[in-house]
Structure 1
């Protein structure tokens, strides 16, 4: 059966929304305090190397996803543990993104609504879209991305209007030295959000022109990194490094300081809109990657039932990840990001690339 195809621009829209996801409202690089924006910038530049590894590895095996490539590299039976590891990772990370979404919505606009209702309703939307196929998902990117960018630009303009904005909050640059920056860059900010773009390897076979995969990947890393850097600079200038470091949602806190003529206030809705859009693509991309991988592993032709099953699992999984939001974040930043994601995003892809390079260039 012929695979569904999406354009390079559609894949860019999906992945840029995926990269922003929850990252746009979280305090990236907070450990470096006023140098957080430098952390994001350096992470962006280093992540280009990672993206080149993902794209080059995919180019060695055209029309194959990561799940199909692994057995070609290390053999069918040895590949099973790694395949299961990646599929589990896709589903688990989708659950974590849903939990971020549920906690933000539950603490802002739907305070009295049970979190399971919030996440469950959101998952119905994601499942409905994905069951329509990758082409529908790509068209959603075309529709949602402009809305997301307009909302982001409006938020930035509003932040510039805040009376307490002080770009001096960015000083002193490198005031704590280089060590805090490097500590935040590797592995934390390389893994999140940039390393997560390894999901591109599950989408490349669906590209109309797979030769453009590299251009799409590099554009996502560069443009996404620059926008996240600008976002960090504005948040730091409004709330200061102290609040930026301890606040779970610093962009939301900064936006709440906006007051135009003491009349127009509480622009939380824009942040919620951006969060919904970003998490939609983040969860959707993880779910699609997991569904494709499971279908390929068990030789299932239709992914619709798999998507429904994964979505059903994600709802309770998102609630079981941590007893509260604080625990959820501690697991993410103190264990998952440092150990698990380093293995999934950096160590294994580099190992697979080296094996592929030897097989294709040295032994062939």
Structure 2
């Protein structure tokens, strides 16, 4: 069985949670207070992930799709468990749909969608055949590179003399309603709620005692990173431009101009996006095929890789008729109809049932011991 280290878990968690946020922005509906909405989303998201971690502690060595049959029984728990790999494949298709929309809009306007997505999915399929360890090692290489590039980007933005921090003021000047609306449910379920994928990966971590601290640390660092990105974007672009832009963080990079020499760094933003999206889609599909392996009890999960990547490729090509439809679905339909029920409601019910059964089991054991 493949195993990953604690640091590799940290890296994969950060890259996954960053995902498409690095180009789309986060909580843009909150305007200049997007950084505050992102911070609140991070705290609530960490609590949501804490729910998953508590379930992991109650089911040592088991994955998400094994928790439900264990607590609800085979006839109820197994159908519920099957909803998760299907949802993960759908979410992977949405991520691929983001790639389909961004690349022709930015750097490859004349390249057919199927070519871009086909090449992308070939790379995803290859890394999945290599296994989670290979994906984790790749993450170890890429995360420091991305952090270094981000620092360089910040230096260039400051050097371009385009930062106006007064655009962030007054904090919550238009009230808290839009901040909370941006944080819940979308801010919590997007990326942070999706970290439920890692319930399929945590049993593969070498140091089980380090999972809780590592995962929560990665979540807080990611949240800080996203909030900083939002604050910088608003300071440079203004609230109106930030809120209107489909790809605000891509537009942010376009503003870099140091002495009319260092400019036109659009490809840097696309590279950010493609890298983190690659990891997010790969983890979505890995978790889905590993879940299907557990549910079908086959020996080798690789038999699911080609069917799963083919389904994701089809979904990516056919996801929505337009960019606006695609984004509208992600903002208004998915959070309430899929993410909240599957990321929050069902796990919360499962936790109550698992705790209740454990408590009753402990009391029964104590009663039997006292009877003796």
TM-score (norm 2): 0.95
2:347 to 346, 349, 359: 349
1:139 to 115, 137, 140: 137
Shift of 1:139: 0.8
CA distance in 2, matches of 1:32, 1:211: 38
Task: State whether residues 160 and 234 of structure 1, in contact with CA within 8 Å, keep that contact through their aligned partners in structure 2.
Answer: no
Shift of 1:49: 1.2
CA distance in 2, matches of 1:195, 1:242: 28
Query: Deviations 1:224-250 (Å, cap 9, x if unpaired)?
Result: 000101111000000011111110110
CA distance in 2, matches of 1:153, 1:349: 38
Task: State whether residues 187 and 342 of structure 1, in contact with CA within 8 Å, keep that contact through their aligned partners in structure 2.
Answer: yes
* Corresponding residue number in structure 2 for 1:92: 90
CA distance in 2, matches of 1:102, 1:150: 27
Task: State whether residues 19 and 276 of structure 2, in contact with CA within 8 Å, keep that contact through their aligned partners in structure 1.
Answer: yes
* Corresponding residue number in structure 2 for 1:179: 177
* Corresponding residue number in structure 2 for 1:104: 102
Shift of 1:161: 2.5
**Structure 2, gaps ≥5 residues long:** 363-372
Matched, 1:267 2:285: no
Shift of 1:252: 0.8
1:44 to 42, 45, 49: 42
* Corresponding residue number in structure 1 for 2:23: 25
Query: Deviations 1:32-79 (Å, cap 9, x if unpaired)?
Result: 111110000111112221111111101111111101111001011101
* Corresponding residue number in structure 2 for 1:83: 81
**Structure 1, gaps ≥5 residues long:** none
**2:23 alignment partner, SS class:** coil
Could you list the runs of 4 or more consecutive aligned residues of structure 1 that deviate by over 6 angstroms after TM superposition? Answer: none
Larger radius of gyration: 2
Shift of 1:164: 3.0
* Corresponding residue number in structure 1 for 2:365: none
Single out whichever of 236-245 and 143-152 deviates more from structure 2.
Answer: 143-152
TM-score (norm 1): 0.97
Matched, 1:219 2:193: no
* Corresponding residue number in structure 2 for 1:74: 72
> What is the number of residues matched between the two proteins?
362
CA distance in 2, matches of 1:179, 1:346: 22
* Corresponding residue number in structure 2 for 1:153: 151
Matched, 1:122 2:94: no
Query: Deviations 1:268-325 (Å, cap 9, x if unpaired)?
Result: 1211111111011100110000010111111111111211210011111112210111
